[in-house]
Structure 1
């Protein structure tokens, strides 16, 4: 779980960076590139598998109401996972020195805190489900949130794999997780278990992931206790767990608002649309974030290298994401009907706005990791807190006046009008200029605008149907590729790359 961290030494003291002005460029670069490739392959394969599973479930097994129950349980789970090990697991990735010296204390703290969280949610599940407008979700919550305990233990071996950029091993582990969780979910769903099938599938997959991480990082699941280490870990982790909790609240407060205001069926449509909008975010941003924090942490001692690394990473992410967002936004109705069936068409009305939100989220998540790596915890708290405070009243009013479309529009309004400027200001304080960010985004945004115009003009010409849908998308994508060609030098890190 990526949350806020500051450069900290093994004893918990802030690192000055004097002994790490620049990483060993060749070996470090190779590690990052290899990890990024494996991470991207992993994410694409897993997301395509999840995509296919979602189609089967939505078309043949589950309706909007069941998806609404699942959405509530998933939201609560994600919020709990943001702070289940108090942020101390991130020390495995960030602290200097041999992590095996403090890993036993990390494991003990993570297991205790996640166990207490699970007891709390088990006892309060009926109340929480009722407040969120989905009383039927109580049982699903109690099962699905077992993943909180499993994750609290898995944080340590998973942290070792992240620290060493071992994304090849992570791919094997994630494949085991996916195969087991998907098999259990599908079997139970077609047996009539409804939303509970998601819960038991998630538990089975997380158990497989824990075993896989333990095998890939042997000797890391050892409990222990050192009072001084625990004090330093909590001092390091608690603020970061708080920042992560804020970040997850921002992403999931809309589900709570829709569920409590509009009911389970509307929530089911919204969850489907939000999941679709997350395809680009998960495929591209997740792959990057598995290496971005570790990479930014190694560059934190060199402001110039950090600024260059961030702008290039942002350029690559935005260039890869814009065409996916524009295609799904411009062809929302036909895509939803083709993939999930006509019963899910109400979700298409919210999808274009959620795609815009997805694009903003990708940039904000990368900025989040960069601010974490540079120790800008106060700025991070400020931005996340501002986002949440502004978002809640906007979403409540929007849900009551314009339903799920209003919620989607409210999200975009707050993100573009308030959050993006706040992140730009925070990044400027970290030494990353507005000019470098604009250079990274200029050509992709231009290409996205051209794509949107092409789709609007092509749809009447090509008509309806799957063939017409693919034809319009192919023409628009070809135009985008031509538009972003001038930025290839910048994206590849070669000289002469024109980026403005």
Structure 2
């Protein structure tokens, strides 16, 4: 276990650096684009493109590349079959999208997004090729190389997008920037994992890969449906301008997800998979990981919720102020997503078939709520519906399933109580200081510092306890042997 711990720790550090650098850069470039070049309508058109792209990426390689992370043995033996399958299926999905793009754009309330869809979704084919070397890097915890490639991807993407935006080409600048960055990433990943881009075919391997990957691809599609159903509802019912405001609120509420969850998920599934055969060590490892992600995500969620309106207006300008109320609801969803995504990886490592039922329940619950709330309360209603369904109908189901893996609800509550109490005190302090100091940079900075000063005493004992060697939890008598599984694929 010592060697595995060392690899996971090193990978986690580079994953954190990767996430912080790219998210800070994405934030800065977003501020420039929102203030100088694009309004809610252009942002809405891009949101339509990202919605369709995300859906395709959840299915494009049918889950087969994820076997490279989990299966034992020499992965180069079946990597050629994986590459052939993923490239062929990705190309087929893109051709289908290209033909249906006008209809898809119209159904999403944005007929002007047709060209955006056709150009942006070329990345589906690129992802189908790059997913093989990328899986090799994830399997071996080689996050240094992934960090280097991801940052280069971001730099090229941002530079191309801003230059084209300054040339007033419109929202299509997003698509050209994304395409340029993903091409660079494909080259980078192929160099970082040499020998992985070889096409080949083995019928028996293909059959086993599809048997492994299709349930995960279906679960991933359900996950993407859950995350993007709100955008479909807002775009089709309220139009692209409302979608732009909602997308801005959702992106801001996702800062904790991206900073905390993405950092953890680059190593969590691989780590949980190595512990899947030992229920006690698996439960201890999951509880330790949950402690860290909860302690890290609570302060971001609280500050965004309490200071939503002044933060939006200060960062992006008054034209985006209509997103404030939606943001306050969506930070609740953001916190639930951070914890649920960690649970997703843990369940995927040991009980993957259950994931489809859980995700199906989430999506089924959302559909009527979001449609009703959108008609009555607009984007604020959609955001409230997301938060209510996640907190009241979905989180209890995840807790129930985790209990069958030896992770008791009482143990989850113990690691959450101090961060929750600290978050409550933090919210009161930040709100009070903001009322006294006013808006602007100084007021927001003072509110943030005061909130963090109040929060730290609550979580320091928890962080100190995590430095000690974790004691295995007593496993539940209800457990399953490990199965081949993995988490949802990521966009390049």
Report TM bin, short chain: over 0.9
Report the equivalent of 1:401.
376
Give the length in aligned residue pairs. 471
Q: Does 1:454 align with 2:426?
A: no
Matched, 1:480 2:455: yes
**Distance apart, 1:192 and its partner CA:** 1.2
Give 2:235's aligned residue.
Answer: 259
Match of 1:137 among 105, 113, 118: 113
Q: Quick one: distance in 2 between partners of 1:460 and 1:76?
A: 41
TM-score scaled by length of structure 2:
0.94
1:384 to 337, 359, 366: 359
In structure 2, what is the equivalent of residue 353 of structure 1?
A: 329
Residue 182 of structure 2 is matched in structure 1 by 206
1:459 Cα shift? 2.4
The match for 1:316 is 292
Distance in structure 2 (CA, Å) of the matches to 1:203 and 1:322: 34
State which of 391, 401, 407 in structure 2 corresponds to 1:416: 391
What is the distance in 1 between the residues matched to 2:172 and 2:74? 42
Counterpart of 1:466 (choices 438, 441, 444) is: 441
**Would you say the 8 A contact 2:434–2:446 is kept in 1?**
no
Is contact 1:312–1:490 with CA below 8 Å preserved after alignment?
no
The CA distance in 1 between the partners of 2:278 and 2:207, in whole Å, is: 29
1:176-195 deviation per Cα after TM superposition (whole angstroms, max 9, x unaligned):
10111111111111111211
Q: Is the 8 A contact 1:106 1:156 kept in 2?
A: yes
CA RMSD of aligned residues (A): 1.0
Tell me what 2:139 maps to: 163
Task: Return the alpha-carbon distance in structure 2 between the equivalents of residues 494 and 104 of structure 1.
Answer: 41
Alignment check: 8 A CA contact 1:489 1:495 kept: no
**1:122: which partner in 2?**
98
What displacement does 1:460 show? 2.1
Q: Give me the whole-angstrom Cα distance separating, in 1, the residues matched to 2:234 and 2:183.
A: 31
Matching residue of 1:343 = 319
What is the CA–CA distance in structure 2 between the aligned matches of 1:369 and 1:495, rounded to whole Å?
20
Alignment partner of 2:6 out of 30, 52, 66:
30
Alignment of structure 1 residues 263-274 onto 2, 5 Å: 263-274=239-250
Within 5 Å, which residues of 2 pair with 1:78-117? Answer: 78-117=54-93
TM-score scaled to structure 1, two decimals? 0.93
Deviation string 1:422-449 (CA, Å, 9 cap, x unpaired) is 1011111122111221122111111111
Greater alpha carbon shift after TM alignment, 458-467 vs 145-154: 458-467
Task: Give, in angstroms, the shift of residue 34 of structure 1.
Answer: 0.4
Per the TM alignment, residue 312 of structure 1 is displaced from its structure 2 partner at its CA by: 0.6
Q: Distance in 1 between matches of 2:153 and 2:333?
A: 29
Distance 2:194 2:470 in 1: 43
Distance 1:243 1:183 in 2: 35
Offset at residue 102 of structure 1 (A): 0.3
Please report how far the alpha carbon of residue 239 of structure 1 lies from its aligned counterpart in structure 2 after TM superposition: 0.8
- 1:146 is the counterpart of 2:122: yes
8 Å Cα contact 2:66-2:135 kept in structure 1:
yes
In the alignment, does 2:151 pair up with 1:185? no
Matched, 1:73 2:49: yes
> What is the aligned partner in structure 2 of residue 15 from structure 1?
none
Residue equivalent to 1:56: 32
Structure 2 matches for 1:239-250, cutoff 5 A? Answer: 239-250=215-226
- Secondary structure at the counterpart of residue 413 of structure 2: helix
What displacement does 1:455 show?
A: 2.2
Q: Distance in 2 between matches of 1:465 and 1:290?
A: 36
Task: Quote how far apart the aligned CAs of 1:456 are.
Answer: 2.7
Displacement of 1:494 after TM fit? 4.3
> Structure 1: where are the runs of 5+ without partners?
1-24
Do residues 237 (structure 1) and 213 (structure 2) align? yes
Instruction: Structure 2: give runs of 5+ residues left out of the alignment.
Output: 472-492
